[in-house]
Structure 1
Amino acid sequence: MPTPPYRLLADLVLAIHFALVLFVIGGLVAIVIGNRLSWPWVNRWSFRAAHLAAIAIVVLESWLGLACPLTTLEMWLRAQAGTAVHEQGFVAYWLQRLLFYEAPAWVFGLAYTVFGLLVAAAWWRFPPARSARRRPHARRNSGI
Structure 2
Amino acid sequence: MGYRLLADITVAVHISFVAFVVVGGFLSLRWPRVLYAHVAAVAWVCLLMVGLNVTCPLTTVENWARERGGEGGIPQGFVEAHLTGTLYPSDMEWLFRTLVGVAIAGSWFLLARLTGSRRSAA
Tell me which interval the TM-score lies in, with the shorter structure as reference length: 0.5 to 0.7
CA contact under 8 A between 2:10 and 2:62: conserved in structure 1? Answer: yes
Correspondence for 2:66:
78
**Which 5+ residue runs of structure 1 have no aligned equivalent?**
35-40, 87-95, 130-144
Q: TM-score scaled to structure 1, two decimals?
A: 0.53
Asked which structure has the greater RCO (Cα within 8 Å, sep 6+), the reply is 1
Whether 1:119 and 2:117 are equivalent positions in the alignment is no
Whether 1:27 and 2:24 are equivalent positions in the alignment is yes
Indicate the SS of the match to 2:5: helix
Residue pairs, 1:65-104, within 5 angstroms: 65-84=53-72, 99-101=82-84
Whether 1:62 and 2:49 are equivalent positions in the alignment is yes
Q: TM-score scaled to structure 2, two decimals?
A: 0.61
Deviations 1:88-112 (A, max 9, x none): xxxxxxxx88834277xxx67xx38
User: Equivalent of 1:44, from 10, 14, 31?
Assistant: 31
**Which 5+ residue runs of structure 2 have no aligned equivalent?**
116-122
CA-based RMSD of the aligned residues comes to: 3.8
Larger of the two Rg values belongs to structure: 1
Query: Post-superposition shift, 1:119?
Result: 2.7
Correspondence for 1:136:
none
Q: Structure 1 counterpart of 2:107, which letter?
A: A
Give the number of the structure whose residues are more often helix, by fraction: 2
* Aligned CA distance change for structure 1 residues 101 and 27 (closer, same or farther; 3 Å): same
Q: Distance in 2 between matches of 1:65 and 1:118?
A: 26
Q: Report the count of equivalent residues.
A: 104
Whether 1:10 and 2:7 are equivalent positions in the alignment is yes
Query: Post-superposition shift, 1:124?
Result: 4.4
